[in-house]
Structure 1
Amino acid sequence: MARMKRTVLGMLTVSFVVSVYLLRGNLEETLSWSLVPLSRFHGYIQGRNSSQDSEEPVDRNTSRNRPSHPEFSSATFLRPNPRIAPTLESQTPVAKTQRAPAENEVPSVSKATSKSDEESRTLKRGPTDPPFIGDTYTSEDIPPQTNCPDGIQGHVAETEFGGRFLKHIPVLQWAKHVSPEQHQRLSKYTGAHGWGGLDYATLVETLSVLNSSVNRQMFDDWKNRSDASLCIHCAVVGNGGILKYSKKGQEIDSHHYVFRTNGAITQGFEQDVGSRTTHYTFSTNTLMNSLNSYAGVGYRRPPHSEETRYVFLPDHDRDYLLMKAAATHTRVEQGRERNRDPTTLFGTDVSAEKLKMYHPDFIRYLRNRFLRSNTLKTSHKNIYRPSTGAVMLLAALHTCDQVSAYGFMTPDYMNYSDHYYDSSYHAVAFYSNHDLRLEMSLWQQLHRAGLIRLFMHQ
């Protein structure tokens, strides 16, 4: 009897062990199918994305002196994005545009180039961008203003930026760009990246004042100042503290064109930063913030001279309204600047011919292809854009033949105060709406590629 009990108990034990083994095998087989890496799923992209404007604070309490993303090397920052095909410009999707009326001084706007069915199918099989990215842009056939033998446009294809640089994207917008079709397309994008929130009637009414060919040319007076030069030389001047005691003023002023932005104070600092300003870039928001923040150190109004052009960065409807008021010498009709007299800002000799405005496609293109920050993956994605200084420098990169950059953030930025006109040391402030460390890395790469000449102490 005892032997029989031991035999039965042994058989039960063996059966239990076999059952557990079989059950474990089934579970492992099930788990091996369920634990597929996320990167295998369509649409999932691992974080490989990697933009100097303390005049535009957003979320100051939570973001000051804190990077908007982890620190990476510049190579990681600017690795070509797999969602942006490194192809020639002719292969880039181009949004439909209407052809401009035939005028001798006005180049026509190119028609859309249609994709083949096979190319479209190929694109659909790959990862897709979120809708707010919008990596398609209008295109224009704009003849070059010079035949510079060693210009940026001819050299960029040989660099790492060749696959993302679009030669025919319009840098500036003007009256000829406005149509119901373009309004419908660009209304998908908000802020500086499109016409979202801007009704068609207001857009037509405001942009209609930019109706001359000089409004769509960055260098509308080049024929009068070329001095037999084959190349357009530009100095792009930021407000960084690295310029203090630099004695670069004479060198800066020797360029054909001098770009400045926001709190561009020159009086008393001419030896270091120069005195000329041919192109002043700003948004209405950054301009008003500069007037409030830097009045104590001498900033009373934007630079003003016969050669100065005012380049609006259209962040809100405020910019369109102020631009129209300036062009027509009338007070601002509505909004935060309602009843403001623009001549107090730009002088009594301001005219429509001295005004320009960046195209939202251009700003979105800069964000997508040059300054695609990890901020776009966060809750701050809707307020993120390249800083005003970054837009200015990259606009020069797309319009000048040779670019020298001064006063922009460099890896040793902690050695200098935020601005060259600071009376005491102020650390650089970081905010959620810009990615200054990414911009700093971009300037280094453009310098190494020979596309800009960046002023550095190191």
Structure 2
Amino acid sequence: MVMKRKLVLLAFVFSCLMCIYVLCLNLESRPSIGPLGRFYHFAWSLGDVETPGVTVVNHQTEKPLNSAEQKPEEPTETPRKVSKSRSEGGTVHPTKARGPTEPPFVGDRYTIEDFIPQTNCPEGIRNQIEKTEFAARFLAGIPILQWAKHATPEQYRRLSQYPGTHGWAGIDNTTLWETLQVLKTSANRQMLDDWESRSNKSSCIRCAVVGNGGILKDSKKGKEIDAHDYVFRTNGAIIKGFEEDVGSRTTHYTFSTNTLMNSMRSYANAGYKGPPVSKETRYVFLPDHDRDYLLMKAAATHTPVQKGRDQGANPMKYFGEDVTVEKLKMYHPDFVRYLRNRFLRSKNVYTKYRDIYRSSTGATMLLAALHSCDQVSAYGFMTPDFSSYSDHYYDSKFHKVGFYVNHDLRMELSLWQQLHQAGLIHLYMRQGHAAL
């Protein structure tokens, strides 16, 4: 009887030990993650959370956008230094992103594309920036503009995480698809699309970026501005009557539909009737929401705006009867988010206003030129003595510069000083007023 009890006890102990052993093997085969790790593991499986880093998307392998298609998002890759392992059949290994990547909601991950320079300018910004403090922030392959090849299910899912000008949240995929499919020419994906066809092109592309600041009043900089290869302007850019100070040419006009309509209302008495219209003028949309996509499509197809707040509006009223799809461009949400994250990371990013905070329209235009041109001269932007000048060069009475939570103009002022001191831009400042 005693022997029987001992056998039963041994069997029980052996069974317990075997259960413990199997459990240990199971635990060893699974990664150990805490509560936060479990959240990211779950969220990443749904494609809703981005891990820190920069992503590359190969657009040649992606399919067109289709709302009915629900293919899981594939892993993406990181730009900059990419190594291929022969033993792994050429597997691409992502490297750590350069520059800031926190906090997670900022979304410091972007599409990166192959970049082919339009010139071999030895003094060009892209060659000089590696020698400056901005090297760690600068991404040479960041797409400045979005066009038809970016309209894919993968990109829609990824960019739908970000609201406003930083992504596609709130934009239905039909509106997005129909608009981007119109932008299918090489001119739509390249900022300086006519450079190769210019007969007077030089070894370096020289760009003048003209803001509307009061510092330009009586500056007599008009001829100097017009002498550049390209001239960028934005929002309420009033030219007639101010040519001596601000020049007369406009090759690129940056705006959002909202800022365009506001400018037409606010500056009508000063002489602003709408965007500059000329044979060389390109129109670069900064999309805040769906009304930009709807106006873009209407302009490209010469039809009234189909729906929304501007339904029935005639786009030729703004861009002229001869506007063509080749003259239309639209900033990529990744580029605008990249500017916020790496060049203008204001304290507003960490507040409840983070979804509406972005670089000002003028700042977006200037930084786009920094990424497109070899040499950039900036006129009419804020300088340390900004309080000495009216808000705009065309103000009939003195108006102080206004500050709002959706932009950080003081941080932009500081950035212009840093870029100027680094030799990456030439910032127009009145004589006797040294840089910070």
- CA offset at residue 171 of structure 1? 0.5
CA distance in 1: counterparts of 2:325 and 2:95, whole angstroms: 46
**What is residue 6 of structure 2 aligned with on the other side?**
none
**What is residue 12 of structure 1 aligned with on the other side?**
none
Residues 232 and 120 (structure 1), Cα distance of their counterparts in 2 relative to 1, 3 Å cut? closer
CA distance in 2: counterparts of 1:278 and 1:389, whole angstroms: 15
2:232 match: secondary structure? strand
**8 A Cα contact 1:309 1:356, kept in partner:** yes
Q: Deviations for 1:361-409, whole angstroms, at most 9, x for unmatched residues?
A: 0000000000000011222222101000000000000000000000000
**What is residue 215 of structure 2 aligned with on the other side?**
242
- CA offset at residue 100 of structure 1? 6.3
Matched, 1:417 2:390: yes
- CA offset at residue 199 of structure 1? 1.8
**What is residue 325 of structure 1 aligned with on the other side?**
298
Q: CA RMSD in A?
A: 2.3
- CA offset at residue 149 of structure 1? 1.4
Of 46, 60, 63, which residue of structure 2 is paired with 1:99? Answer: 60
**8 A Cα contact 2:77 2:94, kept in partner:** no
**8 A Cα contact 2:123 2:374, kept in partner:** yes
Of 52, 55, 77, which residue of structure 2 is paired with 1:112? Answer: 77
Matched, 1:282 2:255: yes
Q: Which amino acid aligns with 1:402?
A: Q
**What is residue 312 of structure 1 aligned with on the other side?**
285
CA distance in 2: counterparts of 1:295 and 1:353, whole angstroms: 29
**What is residue 376 of structure 1 aligned with on the other side?**
349
Which of the pair has the greater relative contact order for Cα pairs under 8 Å at 6+ separation? 1
Q: How many matched pairs?
A: 358
- TM-score, normalization: structure 2? 0.79
- TM-score, normalization: structure 1? 0.75
Matched, 1:218 2:191: yes
Residues 256 and 226 (structure 1), Cα distance of their counterparts in 2 relative to 1, 3 Å cut? farther
**What is residue 358 of structure 2 aligned with on the other side?**
385
**8 A Cα contact 1:173 1:216, kept in partner:** yes
**8 A Cα contact 1:97 1:182, kept in partner:** no
**8 A Cα contact 2:206 2:228, kept in partner:** yes
CA distance in 1: counterparts of 2:179 and 2:201, whole angstroms: 37
- CA offset at residue 95 of structure 1? 3.9
Q: Which amino acid aligns with 2:232?
A: F
**8 A Cα contact 1:97 1:112, kept in partner:** no
**8 A Cα contact 2:101 2:108, kept in partner:** no
CA distance in 2: counterparts of 1:217 and 1:120, whole angstroms: 27
Residues 143 and 121 (structure 1), Cα distance of their counterparts in 2 relative to 1, 3 Å cut? closer
Residues 228 and 197 (structure 1), Cα distance of their counterparts in 2 relative to 1, 3 Å cut? closer
**What is residue 164 of structure 2 aligned with on the other side?**
191
**What is residue 294 of structure 1 aligned with on the other side?**
267
Residues 231 and 446 (structure 1), Cα distance of their counterparts in 2 relative to 1, 3 Å cut? same
Q: Which amino acid aligns with 1:96?
A: V
Deviates more, 1:269-278 or 1:219-228: 219-228
Deviates more, 1:129-138 or 1:327-336: 129-138
**What is residue 89 of structure 1 aligned with on the other side?**
none
Q: Which amino acid aligns with 1:442?
A: L
**What is residue 231 of structure 1 aligned with on the other side?**
204
CA distance in 2: counterparts of 1:337 and 1:113, whole angstroms: 40
**What is residue 344 of structure 1 aligned with on the other side?**
317
- CA offset at residue 347 of structure 1? 0.4
**8 A Cα contact 1:100 1:176, kept in partner:** no
CA distance in 2: counterparts of 1:340 and 1:112, whole angstroms: 42
CA distance in 2: counterparts of 1:290 and 1:372, whole angstroms: 27
**After the TM superposition, which residues 170-189 of structure 1 pair with which residues of structure 2 at under 5 Å, given as runs?**
170-189=143-162
CA distance in 1: counterparts of 2:255 and 2:201, whole angstroms: 31
**8 A Cα contact 2:359 2:408, kept in partner:** yes
**What is residue 9 of structure 2 aligned with on the other side?**
none
Structure 2, unaligned runs of 5 or more: 1-35, 37-50, 63-75, 84-90
Structure 1, unaligned runs of 5 or more: 1-41, 43-83, 86-91, 102-110
Deviates more, 1:373-382 or 1:239-248: 373-382
The list of structure 1 runs, each at least 4 consecutive aligned residues, that deviate by more than 2 angstroms after superposition, is 95-98, 111-117, 119-123, 127-132
CA distance in 2: counterparts of 1:113 and 1:152, whole angstroms: 23
CA distance in 2: counterparts of 1:159 and 1:320, whole angstroms: 37
Q: Deviations for 1:62-115, whole angstroms, at most 9, x for unmatched residues?
A: xxxxxxxxxxxxxxxxxxxxxx99xxxxxx6214343269xxxxxxxxx73488
2:254 match: secondary structure? strand
**8 A Cα contact 2:195 2:201, kept in partner:** no
